[in-house]
Each structure stands twice: as structure tokens, then as C-alpha cells.
A and B are shown apart, each in its own frame.
Chain A
Amino acid sequence: MNSILLHAPALIIALPLLAAFITPILGRFNRKTISWLATCVLGLTLLLTIFVARQVLTHGPIVYVFGATETGLTLPFGYTMPIRIIFQIDAMGIFMGLITSLVAFLAAIYSISYMEQHTGLDKYYTLLLLLATSMFGMELTGDIFNFFVFFEIASISSVALIAFRSTISGEPAEAGLKYMVVSSISALMVLFAIGLFYGQYDALNMATIASVMQFTQLDKIALILLVTVLAMKAGSVPMHMWTPDAYSEAPAAITMILVAASQASLYALFRIVFSIYNVTLNTVTVGWILIILGVLSMFIGVTMAIIQKDIKRLMAYHSISQTGYMLLGVGVGLAVLTNPVALESFGIKAMEGGIFHIINNALYKGLLFLTAGAIFLRTDTRDLNKMGGLAHNMTYTTIFYIIGAAAIAGIPPFNGFASKLIIYESVYRFNPLLAIIAMLVSVLTLASFVKVFHSAFLGPRLEQYKSVQEVPKSMIIAMAVLSCLIVFFGLFPNLIVKYIVHPAVMALINQAHYTATILGGI
């Protein structure tokens, strides 16, 4: 048993990848079992991730070298730089891994009932498992070319999933095409930046590149390319236009994973800025670039959300605005990185707020998209003008929606409040204006969710929705788990911040520790 658990980092990737290609074969014999297979495999992956997370948080970063005689042997035969593909799992990586595995598992549970009526289920689950695999790969890998490969797998599988319903109407194909074009550009620019790194330093390992980073002109160009395209993939304004298209047309469970996937890109942005460049770059300038992107995302995202009439488009604009909070929090941390006093007094707290917001956003945004999917399943429309009075028949969905909406608007005691409070108070000490904008955005968020609540759930029972029923059990279970986690995170925020978020922030800031895990010696 122990020897298997030693390979847990590889198994996290291998299990969903293997299952992804078993599902089409199994689907030939029995159509019913594939959804259960996918759910079980993702559940197992969740357990493995929790196991790895416990090890990382108690014993420090884990290194897994593929093809080596020992899993921790980074420098064989006295080499001074690693040549094999290495998974380097620190607290930040496994933090994102936990989000991914949780979201993918719940999406699989939700899909059991939600996708029941659709054809081509085997392909759906193959793509879903591939998407989960690629996200794990992006988050756990320590090799920048390996990151590029997983990045491309993520965009290809998510495009196929977004366009999954294009047999019915043309819009999903349109959304898929738009996402494909922008993500191809971003992946190619990432590859170009990798070429720039390799040409200068002869290395593809992120820790090795970080240890010899000079910040030459070419590194500046690589930084510009990486920051722009990864911010685009995370959905920051003004490169956000693909987000509402893709999020609104994908099936609800996939939208939930897409939120986590764009946060994986955000993670890659933080990883590159903090772990590869760190203090060699002009932290104030890059920090302010992140802050400005964040503030623009927050404000334009939320104001565009208010005027939307499509429920999933409205929520998609909100995920842009929530990404802004993360960029703001971490950007403030980056801007004061070279100033130890400011970093100690509010920089670390601001980053904690931003990173904590990632997991909170994955939870409540996922829950809201799932409730939107539940409404779509029963009413067959996403148009808010055609809805009304659904609370009479869909009691559970209404309760889950209220929890999700209260959490995203930052109403205590739900989790959104905890992370937003940390961001407000720490950002206020950096620049009061930014904190005021953040609070204003929070108010507008509440306003637009009140709009959805009023037009979809409240009001008299409408004629056409007299016979609407509550959604099936598997969907309720997925939503209930998310709601419980939201309430738990809201009631005991310090538990999460202290044991999961704080180590993740320290893993980002401390570059010397990151390089030493691979190259040895401090």
C-alpha cells in the first residue's frame, strides 16, 4: 500500500487519463455504467489529492521525478540541472489541485442526472476526464514545457465540451470557435516564451530557470507574453469577451469546471511571476499591471453583468469580476514584495485574501452555475424575461441559490465575506481608493443577484411552469455538498486561512525554497 501511495502524484494524473480512454470502450457495452465509472475515478482522485495535500502541508513540498530510480532523485549522476520531467508539488500547487479535484468530482456527480437525456455520453465523459487531467497537470508540474502540453490539452478538451451541444443550435459552436482561437494564440505565445527561456538558460525546469534568472531584454519579452496571455485565459478585462460566450453555452457542469480551469491559468500567472521571476523584475510595475487589470475586471465585469438578460451570461460576467478580486489581492502582494515592512504588515494578508478568494469563488460560482443548470433543465430557457415564480416548485434549488448569491455578494456568515474582508482591509492600507472600488463592486454584485432572484424565483406561479418539478437527486447532492462547504468555510475561515491558504502564499513568495526543492541546499 505504501509503495503505491509513494506514486500518488503520478496517480493523480494517471487515473483520470486512463479512465478517459476506458470510457469509450465501456460505453460500447453498457451506457449506464460510464457515468458511475467517471464519478468513482474522480472520487478516488479526490482522495489521493487529499492524501498528497496532507503530506505536503505537514512534511513540506513533494518532488516526483518521472522515470528515475527513486521518486525524489532530481539530480542523478551528479548533474547540476535536472533533465527529467519533474512534478514539483508545493502548498500552492496542491491548493489548486484540491479545488480541481473537488470541482471535477462534483461536476461528475451532477452530470449523472443532468446529461442523462443526451447522446454521445461516452465522449462527454472522456473529455471531462481529460479536462480534469490537464488541469492537474498544469497545477502540479515543475516543468514549463510539460505545462504547455497540459495547457493545450485543457483548451482542446474544453473547446470540445463547450461545443458539445452544437448539434441542437449553432451558438455552442460559435462559442467554442471563439474560445479555441484565443486559447490557441495564448498557447502559442506560451510556447514562444518557453523558447526564449530555453534559448537563454538551456533549461525547461521552472526551478532551474528561476535560479539563473537574469531578467534580460528577452526575459522581459517572455514576461510580457506570459502575463498577457495567462491573464487573458483567466478572463481579465479587456480580454474577457470569450468568457461570457464560453461559460453560457457550455453544459452547466462543464461551466463549473471551466471556472476552475481559468483559475488554473491564473495560478500559472502567479507561479511564473512569483516563482520564476520574483524580485528580479520590477515588482511595483508588474504589481500595478495586475492591480489595474484586476480593478478593470471587477468594475466592468459587474457593470456588464447588471444589464444581462441571460442567466448564465450574467453569472459569467460575475466570474470575470471575481477574478478581479484575486488579481487585486495578489497584485498588491506583488507590488510590495521588495518592501519587507509593507509585505509583513499587509502584503501577505492581501495575498491570503486573493488566494482564499480562489477557492471561495470556485465553490460559490460553481454552485450558482449548477443552480442555473437546474433551472435550464426544468424550464428549457436561459432567458430571465421568460422565468418567474420558480421558488414555488423548486424549493431546494432556491435555497441553494440564496446561499450562493449571498456568498458571492459577501454577506456574512458565508465564505465570500471572509475573503473579501481580508482583501478590503489589507488593500485599504495599500491604497484606499482600490478598497473603495472593491466594496462598490460588491454592492453591485448583490444588486444583480437580487435581479436574478426576483425575476427567476419570486413572483406568482406562471402558467407555463405549473408542472415544473424539483431536479433529480444527483444534482441536489452536488449542490448540497457545495452549499455545506460554503457555510463551513464561512463559519470557520481562520481554519482554512491558517492551514491551507497561508502555506500556499508562503510557497509563492519564497522563491529560494522553490528552487532549493529541486536543486538542493539553501
Chain B
Amino acid sequence: MIGNFPFIAVIILIGLGVYSLLFKKNLIKIAIGLTLIESGVNLFLIALGFRKGAVAPIYTQAPEGVKMVLPTPQALCLTSIVIGVATTALILSIVMVIYQKYGTINTDEIRRLRG
């Protein structure tokens, strides 16, 4: 049961992210919601590679006969973090432009494009 805690945390993080995407009216909070989902997914990837009592997967440094955690999910997670930074930066810069042009970051008022 205790081994499943990371996965429960994943569900909670993604759920909170989806909640803020659906119900928060502030664009910055929507960006925060996206990063929450992203952290949840990253945690999920990392939790997949976890092994009890294992060491970091550095082949030349690891002591004899000790298990190593799986390196691939960490590589995936790193890539995903880098992409996530780019996404967040782009969203926040667009939010800045929107605030300049519209004078608000409330989603109810940013809907000139509709219908």
C-alpha cells in the first residue's frame, strides 16, 4: 500500500491541475494549473523507475552488487521538464501581451474570438 503513495500523489496533483484549468478565472492560475499537471506526470514517470534500496544509475560509480534505479524514466522526465519550462515561459509571455492589449487577465473578459 505504502508503495502506491507516489501514484496517489500523481492523481491528486493532476486533479488539482485540472480543477484550476476548469474553474479558475485568472490566466496566471491557469498557467499554474498546467504546471501542476506537468509535475504530476513527471512524478508518475519518476515513480515508475523507483526501486527500493537502489542507487543512482551512474554505471562507473555504483558499488558492486547494488541495484540501480531505472535511468530511462529520469531521462524522459528531464526532457519533459525542459519542454515544460519552454511552455510555461511562452504562456506567461502571451499572458503579458494579453494584459497589455486587453487590460485584464480574467478569462470571462478575454473572449473577443467566439461564435
Q: B6-32 interface mask toward A, CB cutoff 8 Å, 1 = contact, 0 = none?
A: 000000001000000100000100100
Report whether B112 and A159 are in contact in the complex, using a CB–CB cutoff of 8 Å: no
Query: B91 within 8 Å of A by Cβ?
Result: yes
Report whether A177 and B41 are in contact in the complex, using a CB–CB cutoff of 8 Å: no
Query: A156 within 8 Å of B by Cβ?
Result: yes
Report whether B87 and A169 are in contact in the complex, using a CB–CB cutoff of 8 Å: no
Query: A56 within 8 Å of B by Cβ?
Result: no
The interface residues of chain B lying within 8 Å CB-to-CB of A156 are: 83, 86-87, 90
Q: What is the bound-complex CA distance between A152 and B73, given in angstroms?
A: 18
Q: What is the bound-complex CA distance between A149 and B91, given in angstroms?
A: 18
Which residue in B80, B86, B98 is a CB contact (below 8 Å) of A177?
Answer: B98
Report whether B73 and A174 are in contact in the complex, using a CB–CB cutoff of 8 Å: no
Question: How many residues of B are counted as interface, with CB atoms below 8 angstroms from the partner's CB atoms?
Answer: 33
Contacts known (A152-B87, A173-B101, A198-B72); A159 close to B48, Cβ less than 8 A: no
Q: B86-109 interface mask toward A, CB cutoff 8 Å, 1 = contact, 0 = none?
A: 110011001101101110000000
Report whether B34 and A170 are in contact in the complex, using a CB–CB cutoff of 8 Å: no
Q: What is the bound-complex CA distance between A245 and B112, given in angstroms?
A: 10
The interface residues of chain B lying within 8 Å CB-to-CB of A248 are: 113
Query: A188 within 8 Å of B by Cβ?
Result: yes
Give chain A's interface secondary structure class. Answer: helix
Give the contact stretch, choosing among A189-197, A270-278, A448-456: A189-197
Report whether B41 and A188 are in contact in the complex, using a CB–CB cutoff of 8 Å: yes
Contacts known (A169-B101, A181-B34); A176 close to B94, Cβ less than 8 A: yes
Q: What is the bound-complex CA distance between A145 and B75, given in angstroms?
A: 11
Report whether A185 and B94 are in contact in the complex, using a CB–CB cutoff of 8 Å: no
The interface residues of chain B lying within 8 Å CB-to-CB of A174 are: 98, 102, 110-113
The interface residues of chain A lying within 8 Å CB-to-CB of B37 are: 185, 188
Query: A249 within 8 Å of B by Cβ?
Result: yes
Closest residue on chain B to residue A200 by CB atoms:
B48
Query: A163 within 8 Å of B by Cβ?
Result: yes
Q: How far is the CB of B93 from chain A (nearest CB, A)?
A: 9
Query: A175 within 8 Å of B by Cβ?
Result: yes
Query: A166 within 8 Å of B by Cβ?
Result: yes
Query: B62 within 8 Å of A by Cβ?
Result: no
Query: A180 within 8 Å of B by Cβ?
Result: yes
Which residue in A175, A180, A187 is a CB contact (below 8 Å) of B91?
Answer: A180
The interface residues of chain A lying within 8 Å CB-to-CB of B110 are: 174, 177
Report whether B94 and A152 are in contact in the complex, using a CB–CB cutoff of 8 Å: no
Q: What is the bound-complex CA distance between A170 and B86, given in angstroms?
A: 22
The interface residues of chain B lying within 8 Å CB-to-CB of A230 are: none
Closest residue on chain A to residue B102 by CB atoms:
A170
The number of A-B residue pairs with CB atoms under 8 Å apart is: 95
The interface residues of chain B lying within 8 Å CB-to-CB of A459 are: none
Query: A219 within 8 Å of B by Cβ?
Result: no
Closest residue on chain A to residue B46 by CB atoms:
A195
The interface residues of chain B lying within 8 Å CB-to-CB of A194 are: 76
The interface residues of chain B lying within 8 Å CB-to-CB of A160 are: 90
The interface residues of chain B lying within 8 Å CB-to-CB of A166 are: 94, 97, 101
Which residue in B41, B73, B98, B111 is a CB contact (below 8 Å) of A192?
Answer: B41
Q: A466-479 interface mask toward B, CB cutoff 8 Å, 1 = contact, 0 = none?
A: 00000000000000
The interface residues of chain B lying within 8 Å CB-to-CB of A178 are: 113
The interface residues of chain A lying within 8 Å CB-to-CB of B97 are: 163, 166, 170, 173
Interface residues of A in 182-214 (CB under 8 A from B): 184-185, 187-188, 191-192, 194-195, 198-199, 204
Which residue in B21, B90, B111, B112 is a CB contact (below 8 Å) of A185?
Answer: B21
Report whether A177 and B76 are in contact in the complex, using a CB–CB cutoff of 8 Å: no
The interface residues of chain B lying within 8 Å CB-to-CB of A184 are: 34, 38, 87, 91
Report whether B45 and A195 are in contact in the complex, using a CB–CB cutoff of 8 Å: yes
Report whether A145 and B76 are in contact in the complex, using a CB–CB cutoff of 8 Å: yes
Q: How far is the CB of A199 from chain B (nearest CB, A)?
A: 5
Query: A294 within 8 Å of B by Cβ?
Result: no
Report whether B101 and A180 are in contact in the complex, using a CB–CB cutoff of 8 Å: no
Report whether B48 and A195 are in contact in the complex, using a CB–CB cutoff of 8 Å: yes
Report whether B101 and A170 are in contact in the complex, using a CB–CB cutoff of 8 Å: yes
Q: What is the bound-complex CA distance between A176 and B97, given in angstroms?
A: 11
Q: What is the bound-complex CA distance between A109 and B44, given in angstroms?
A: 44
Q: What is the bound-complex CA distance between A244 and B90, given in angstroms?
A: 21
Report whether B48 and A198 are in contact in the complex, using a CB–CB cutoff of 8 Å: yes
Which residue in B30, B44, B45, B111 is a CB contact (below 8 Å) of A181?
Answer: B30
Query: A171 within 8 Å of B by Cβ?
Result: yes
Q: How far is the CB of B112 from chain A (nearest CB, A)?
A: 6
Can you list 30 A-B pairs with a CB-CB distance of less than 8 A? Answer: A145-B79, A149-B83, A159-B94, A163-B97, A166-B97, A169-B101, A170-B101, A170-B112, A173-B94, A173-B97, A174-B102, A174-B111, A177-B27, A177-B94, A180-B87, A181-B21, A181-B34, A184-B38, A185-B34, A185-B37, A188-B37, A191-B80, A195-B41, A195-B73, A195-B76, A198-B45, A198-B48, A198-B76, A199-B48, A248-B113
Query: Given A163-B94, A180-B90, A191-B41, list of 13 further CB < 8 A pairs?
Result: A155-B87, A170-B98, A173-B97, A177-B27, A177-B98, A180-B91, A180-B94, A185-B37, A188-B34, A191-B76, A192-B14, A195-B41, A245-B113
**In the A-B complex, the 6 residue pairs with the closest CB atoms:** A170-B101, A173-B97, A245-B113, A199-B48, A152-B83, A177-B94
